[in-house]
Structure 1
Amino acid sequence: MNGKKILFVSSELVPYLPENEVSLMSYETPRMVNSNGGQIRIFMPRFGNINERRHQLHEVIRLSGMNLVINDMDMPLIIKVASIPRERIQVYFIDNDEYFKRKATFTDEDGNAFSDNDERAIFFAKGVVETVKKLNWSPDIIHVHGWMASLLPLYLKKYYADEPLFVESKIVMSVYGQGFDGALDPEMVKKIAFDGISEESIKDLEDPTYNNLLKVAVDNSDAVILAANDIPKELGDHISNLNKPVLPYVSLQEFEEAYMNFYNTEVLK
């Protein structure tokens, strides 16, 4: 991994959010690459339940200030950064008051999913790419974790297809167990089509369930990692029919060598 540049994009990350499969692997994988000589950047949403004072988040004025158009609305993009002290790893946070100020991640106190989770996912995907463009940092690998980050492969392959910074980048999608029940806003497909992405390429999102969201993500990725043991059967069957590299599930205790080999022999070949 010496000198290789890897962009990690995740919807959850410890120590900023509680530990679960996604947040833990989103921390352990960049930590592993960092300790093996790779250059890394990590992006996640700045959810309102992240304690900014404790984690010492601060706004990066030179990166903030642009507006992203989401479904014909101008939404200001704010970028904050913090460091994971013991690893000396910097994390970039995508923020917007409308989407991320509320003191929760994906659901309200009654467990109901936020009605604008689809727009939050679109904003996050576009916000990451626009910020990386401002940083002028061209990653060799873009490794995506978590369903709220899962529109990134689609946007990179369709909306940002002509962006020279990502021409050589390989996209890896880590797939986890059922991320949410039910479906996102049924208008989601129209909001994405507003960005000039053909409805044919997002047909699955006419019913924006977790499985269909992840199908679109893996279809637009260059490689897939099965990051959980309990991937929904419908999604697992879809992945097994893909003509691209797939790394079967390996436990946290054994992942380092498996992921490193996968990066080097399957993704970067």
Structure 2
Amino acid sequence: MLKIVFLLFFSFLFFSLLCSVASASLPSAPLNVSAAQEIVNSFKDYYEDDFRNDMARVPKSAFPTGEQSYVYAKYMNKAFAKAGYSLDETLFSYFKSDRTPGVVLFMSKLNLETYAIFLKSESVASAFLKASAATERTITYAKAIARDVPIANADYIIKGSPELGVGGAPTAPIIKERLIGYVREGKGRWGGWIYFQSFSLPGENYGVGLAAISEASHDEMEIWKSLIGKKIKVEGAYINYKGVSITTNDGMHTVNDPLIFDRTRDVLFKIL
């Protein structure tokens, strides 16, 4: 009898581990409308009624609470798996991707973006962990790309110095900010400069100046070379220099009223 109990126990344990491994091996869903529809179909066919019943029992809130997040994560995780995808891998892929119209449609069709945005909060993160819908890796990355979360472990720091101020008095206030985007070498409007390109406002015309290449030291240029083209989070302060004009090295472009990072202060970078 005891032998049978042990065999049943180990059989259950093996089956549980097998299910866990199978779930962990599922891929990210393609971030497009057709994949979203697959997941919606599996949700409606198998889980919607239970989801609605459970969600009706938790307090209502305009923003995701821990209770709401757990119910959502529990059933959406099942719907993803039923469709052959991993919710955790999909969230990680979403955080890594550009926010194209197709990605936006995918997230909105599943009402997933709201929860993804709040995955940086402890209550929502704990709910997704409890539901096995997200891993620590994904939650750590969600916090890393959140603009309101300070950079904890910077990959690079460009030290500030009083000598690095731009000539001309700024007429706009200094804006302390954390931004997500890319470090670029200027080719047009910012020719001869290293500039920051926002994730949400691509293009050189919307760039924020970081450093004039001709004025950068060898050590500083090595840092810029390591950052150019990388998706980064930057933490610092920038100024709108009204009435100031910067002419590019080739003399073909002029930046009027430029936005420039205040290089009298440290500027921190985290590669994402």
> TM class, shorter-chain normalised?
under 0.3
TM-score using structure 2 length: 0.26
Q: Which has the higher helix share?
A: 2
TM-score using structure 1 length: 0.26
Larger radius of gyration: 2
